[in-house]
Amino acid sequence: MSAELDSFAPLAQMLDEWKATAALQADPELADELARPIPEPDGRPVPAP
């Protein structure tokens, strides 16, 4: 489909995002750190959207 549209930008973005996801899944320590709640400057957790 990218070739039909003459734009490979969406495909390139998808591959970059896939690589980032794969890197995260390959590093359990990073996955644990990113799964923790992000505290606000006053120390309270940020509510889920």
Residue pLDDT, tens place only, 1-49: 566 778 888 889 999 999 988 988 899 898 888 888 777 777 777 677 7
* Predicted pLDDT of residue 1: 59
* Predicted pLDDT of residue 40: 73
Dihedral of CA atoms 37, 38, 44, 47 in degrees, nearest 10, equals: -70
Three-class SS of residue 39?
strand
Instruction: Say if pTM beats, i.e. exceeds, 0.75.
Output: no
Report CA torsion sign: 17, 28, 49, 43.
Answer: negative
* Predicted pLDDT of residue 19: 94
User: DSSP state, 44?
Assistant: P
* Predicted pLDDT of residue 3: 66
